[in-house]
Chains A and B, each alone.
Chain A
Amino acid sequence: MTAGPEPALRRGRVAAYLDELQARFDAGAGRAGVVDRHYRIGGRLVRLRLAGPAVVHPFTRALAHLAADAGPDPSLTVRVADATAVAPPPSPWARPGGPAGGDGADGKPALHVRDGSVEALFQLDYPAISLYDRAARAGFFWTASAAAVPSYELGSPLRAIFHWWGLGEGWHVVHAGAVGRDDGGALLVGKAGSGKSTAALACLAAGLAYLGDNDAVLAPGTPPRVHGLYCAAKLEEAHLRRRLPALSPLVGSGDARHRGKEVFFVDDAAGVRLTGGFPLRAVLIPRIAAGAGTAALRRVPPSAAVVALAPSTLLALPGAHRERLRDLVSMLRGVPAWVLEVGEDVASIPAAVERALEAAG
């Protein structure tokens, strides 16, 4: 799911819309039976308030490895509901017109609106609304039907809300896998189909620490620090069985497919090491090398890492593009980067990753 620049929508009433949604949620809580779940993301306590059992699994399964006990003063509270629990009020915005957000070829799959401290993302394809109030540190996710949540949402739920909240913490949700050791790891960056998931899952199977195959949280520091977000992964079933047989028991553990890939949850596998985070030591850019055998490393300048990471990260999530690009460049400028050429021998990838981490110090 991606969003372009803000369209020319009528502004100024989105905050009131969020207030009304929250009021309707609270008024309907008794009927739906609110389920509270807590998670620790990047060391911060997050509370999800889920309106009824139907929305629990789709929006919490990928966060199961981050489950935490309830505590006072969560850093973020997110209400989650579908139309069976909360009927949305009439929307306060006009139907967007014109080439920026209209009916033609320039239309976007998601619309982003900012109203003071409130951010909103309207995902028009299934449909859903993500809202976040920076001042209140409160989010709201509404969708028409929890039963119709697309597979990418199952694998990376509430991503826009975590993204906005993270910006307030100085973090960035980035389009990257992340693997390594507790004392330092690597981001795996690149466009879809470049081999990020294959590389990440090969490392998972080999016992390296795993933070994700497609999303991670990057926090500034010297060095920057990577936090995990989701325990889901996506890979073609046949590819997983053929190249990563140790993980074949995971096939069928998920319940959805996305663009021909199965979405499954890696914490279902025995012996996996899902770590909370590690210092960023290296950036690896997987490339499928046709005809090659073992995985190989080729050193590239930091700009290559930025080109591989920043555009898809910026375009996948709404808002603060200029600031996010600046911060990503700042964080990646001093991190050594390699192209990770992935050949037929997938089992050789973890050793190549470890060589990069050794070389990075």
Chain B
Amino acid sequence: MSQPERYAIDEQTVVSETVDDEAIVVNLANGYYYSFDPTATVVWSAVQARRSVAEMVAELRGRYDCAALDPEAPLRRFLSALIDERLIVPGGEAAAPAGPGPRAAAPASGSDPRAPFQPPAFQRFTDMHAFLLVDPIHEVDETGWPNLPPGSSAGRA
């Protein structure tokens, strides 16, 4: 089955900024955060700009020397990884031709047309995840926290 043609960043839970040629992406839902390499940053900017997969492939073929490796399959694997990480979702519309659209990142330094294509990759950091998984509300009664049910302790370790 072919993949959806276009993807969108999950704006409810994902924030990102690009510094030089490195996108820094934070998933607020699970605390994971990511450092994208230059090729991945190009792809991330393209997703932000609501480009289709075909447009992304064309952009990568234009930016890099793809004689040794065509970018389409690595791109699709990377997009699947972003879905697995809950950073993007399939679907979405193309950016409107007029009016403000998502801000594209600055061109990556790795976009030199002579540079060989390298598959996009990210580094994932999970050290903040534990801060987000404390089970919060067992001491809540039906009137709603903070009115603690009789006999419950005020706090937890």
Contact = CB atoms under 8 A, between A and B. Distances in A.
Interface string B6-48: 0000001101110110101010110101010000000000000
Nearest to B131: A2
Contacts of A122: 145-146
Contacts of A108: 132-134, 136
Contacts, number: 140
Contact of B155 (A90, A95, A125, A306): A125
A326 interface: yes
A88 interface: yes
- Interface size class of chain B, counting residues whose CB lies under 8 Å from the partner chain: 35 or more
B154 A126 contact: yes
Contact of A311 (B20, B125, B155, B156): B125
Given A103-B138, A107-B136, A125-B155, 20 more contacts: A4-B28, A5-B29, A90-B143, A92-B144, A102-B137, A107-B137, A111-B136, A122-B146, A127-B139, A127-B155, A144-B148, A148-B154, A303-B35, A306-B17, A306-B24, A314-B28, A321-B15, A321-B26, A321-B28, A326-B17
By secondary structure, the A interface counts as: loop
A91 B139 CA distance: 14
Contacts of B132: 2, 4, 108-109, 315
Nearest to A327: B17
B88 to A, nearest CB: 16
Given A94-B144, A109-B131, A311-B26, A103 B125 contact: no
Given A88-B147, A150-B155, A95 B29 contact: no
B28 A5 contact: yes
A88 B155 contact: no
Interface of A: 2, 4-5, 88, 90-96, 101-111, 122, 124-127, 129, 142, 144-145, 148, 150, 191, 301-303, 306-307, 310-312, 314-316, 321-322, 325-326, 329, 332-333
